Amino acid sequence: MRTKLFILFLNHDYTEGRMYRLGEELMNLKLCSVLKDITGVTGMKIIRSIVSGERDAAKLSQYRDPNCHHSEEEIAKSLEGYYKSEYLFGLSQALNLYDHYTKLIHECDEEIKAKFSAHKCYKGNREVPTKSKKMRKQKNDPTYDLRTELYNLCGEDLCQIDGISVFTAQKVLTEIGLDMSKWETSKHFVSWLGLCPMNTVSGGKVLKRGSKKNANPASIALRKAAASLSRSKSGLGSFYRRIRTKIGALQANKATAHKLAKIIYNMLKNKTEYKDPGETKYLEEYRSRNLKNLQRKAAFFGMKLVEAE
């Protein structure tokens, strides 16, 4: 089903591109210059009205959503183009395809929701804890509350983890399942995902450094989640930036994905909630660890650290 849904999304994007090409390149409409997304509320109302026969730019601009950044005058100016019959027919066909694939995606959503309800581990519907991290609604979010369904399925809210979106949580759970006993420790789990070093050693000497090549979808999802933490004001975001400064963004991405995988493993196996320490506390703990290491090294050489005035 995931493959079929992916194909639908590809076709959905294709119809969006077709509507964009017909409007921008052939009809000379500059709607994309004033609207961030032509398939949003304002864009779809205007396109449907054009297909229905409306040509007056002033009337079309009245479909502007209050949240739109551009004024009605700017939108009206962008709608001055060539409304030829052949272009309008192509736009109508693209709109019909867009509606058709949207309907199919919603049907897939309902089928997936039914599967979640049939396999949830907890009887009854439980709401996600009120202190949970708020998730911003995205354009392609499912029609049902996927986060609550995942919470009822595994008993833990993985979206509490910074960088883990509801789709990332769904992809990871789909690939690894709910039984963490398959991996003895979190190290085994991370190794299975290919998120740990795999060096070639001979005679106690490291001949080659690298990592295990793995196309596991769960591993790819965690890497993408790690990349989204570059500006996060959380403990994980601070960890990502610290590692990136030392060894570069590519290795920092992998190291953060490694940490995310361990957190998910412990949450699912031990049924514990994730609590973000915060950027400030993380940096304080990191400073404290470094200070202890320096004190231990100084004591080894018969010296003592003295705080500067």
Q: Residue 302: give the domain boundaries.
A: 284-309
Supply φ then ψ for residue 166, to 5 degrees.
Answer: -65, -35
Regarding whether 272 and 178 lie in a shared domain, the answer is yes
Q: What is the pTM of this model?
A: 0.74
- Residue 115, pLDDT > 60, answer yes
- Residue 3, pLDDT > 50, answer no
* Residues facing residue 197 across a β-bridge: 211
pLDDT (0 to 100) of residue 121: 60
Regarding whether 72 and 25 lie in a shared domain, the answer is yes
The pLDDT tens digits for 55-114 are 888 888 888 888 888 888 888 888 877 778 887 888 888 888 888 888 888 888 888 888
Give me the mean pLDDT over the 131-145 stretch: 68
Q: Which residues contact 273 (CB under 8 A, 6 or more apart)?
A: 156, 157, 160, 267
pLDDT (0 to 100) of residue 89: 85
Regarding whether 161 and 147 lie in a shared domain, the answer is yes
Domain count within the chain: 3
- Last residue of some domain: 100, 115, 130? 115
Percent of the chain with pLDDT over 70: 83
- Last residue of some domain: 70, 98, 115? 115
- Residue 125, pLDDT > 70, answer no
pLDDT (0 to 100) of residue 247: 87
Task: Output b/e per residue, 90-126; b: 16+ Cβ within 10 A.
Answer: bbbebbebbeebeebbeebbeebbeebeeebeeeeee
